[in-house]
Amino acid sequence: MSNSLRVLAVALLVEVLGGCGGGTPSSGPPTRQALGDLRAPGLRTDVRAALGGRAAPARVRSGIYVAQFFSSYVYGYPLDNSKNGPPICNVYNPYQSVNDIAVDGHGNLLVPLEVPNEILVYKGTKLCGPWSATIADPYGQPTGAAANDAVHGTIAVANIFDLSGSGSISLCTVSGGCTTNLTNPDLYEVGGVAMDERGNCWASGLNVSYVSVLIYFAGCTGPGVAATGVAQTQGYGGLDIDKDGNLVAVSIPNSLYVYRGCRPKCKLVGGPFALEGGTIFGHLNKNSTFFAAGDYQYGQVDIYTYKPKSLTYFYSFNNGLSASNDVGGAAYSPRSKE
């Protein structure tokens, strides 16, 4: 990679994730920062009641969700969008600032908002289901989330920065809100989070030397421990888990790694695999045969055929998307079944 492309990737990471290199949490550009002023209690009730969007046809229960940072909609596309069709549905949030998105084991959609530090949950009865809950994150700036059952269980939320100025993982529930903040001395920024079916968590990020780290939190508790055997790069991004239990890690600007174990010793199974364009986040489909990547560089979603030891570009779609809006999150519903 040329130095100019590396600089571009880092600059876009800062813009999309809202981070800054000086060690102080950032609320983003003034236009987004001003949106935080809309959090008056009276308005919140009205806005939350109006949250929704355009539902998918009743028969559509699966597809691909796509988020753009500078858009108030998360779009739903058909599972096979190789003909570059338009969105078939959407969900709405009034604040924009969406980075990664995720689907839990029941099809519920998780939409973390960097501003105003909230996580929206949409029911997974079908694609683009109705709004279910809004959870305020008092610990930091959400950039990603993971859960096995977001409605009844724990949601692990990746904060690129928490109130201390370092990245963290918030543990939240719909009924009780966010009550725990997991930190580790090796975490300076956090980009991605994953949770396996046994309730263990991982956070991907950078340390204070801007070297990539992967932190393992057994049972999503305690101080965590740095995983070994992780590629030492200066990039990081989203996480996912494939059907074989392998950890799938994006490293900006355009690489993907597949690891086994990481409790805390990692074994590299596959990669680094080159991605088509600048990518920070992406997720696998139900059978872990396809990987959907948000491509901010070209304003599209790139679809790859996936095996733990190979990744092959398949097609892209961009109907309804814009490079100027920073395409970020892409997630299949249903998600990968570990």
CA distance 338 to 323: 32
Q: Report pLDDT for 154.
A: 98
What is the 3-state secondary structure of the chain? CCHHHHHHHHHHHHHHHCCCCCCCCCCCCHHHHHHHHHCCHHHHHHHHHHCCEECCCCCCCCEEEEEECCCCEEEEECCCCCCCCCCCEEEECCCCCECCCEECCCCCEEEEECCCCEEEEECCCCCCCCEEEEEECCCEEEEEEEECCCCCCCEEEEEEEECCCCCEEEEEECCCEEEEEECCCCCCEEEEEEECCCCCEEEEEECCCCCEEEEEEHHHCCCCEECECCCCCCCCCCEEECCCCCEEEEECCCEEEEEEECCCEEEEEEEEEECCCCEEEEEEECCCCEEEEEECCCCEEEEEEEECCEEEEEEEECCCCCHHHCEEEEEEECECCC
CA distance 145 to 34: 24
Q: Report pLDDT for 30.
A: 22
Question: Model pTM?
Answer: 0.87
Residue 266, by phi and psi: left (phi above 0), alpha (psi -120 to 50) or beta? Answer: beta
CATH superfamily of 3-333: TolB, C-terminal domain (2.120.10.30)
Q: Report pLDDT for 46.
A: 39
Give the number of other Cβ atoms within 10 Å of residue 242's Cβ: 21
Record the tokens describing residue 187, joined without a space: 């975490």
Record the tokens describing residue 58, joined without a space: 């009743």
Q: Report pLDDT for 338.
A: 81
Q: What is the pLDDT along the chain (338 residues), one digit of tens a residue?
A: 333 223 333 434 444 454 433 333 333 222 222 222 222 223 333 344 456 678 887 778 899 999 999 999 999 999 999 999 999 999 998 888 999 999 999 999 999 999 889 999 999 989 999 999 999 999 999 999 999 999 999 999 999 999 999 999 999 999 999 999 999 999 999 999 999 999 999 999 999 999 999 999 999 999 999 999 999 887 889 999 999 999 999 998 789 999 999 999 999 999 999 999 999 999 999 999 999 999 999 999 999 999 999 999 999 999 999 999 999 999 999 999 98
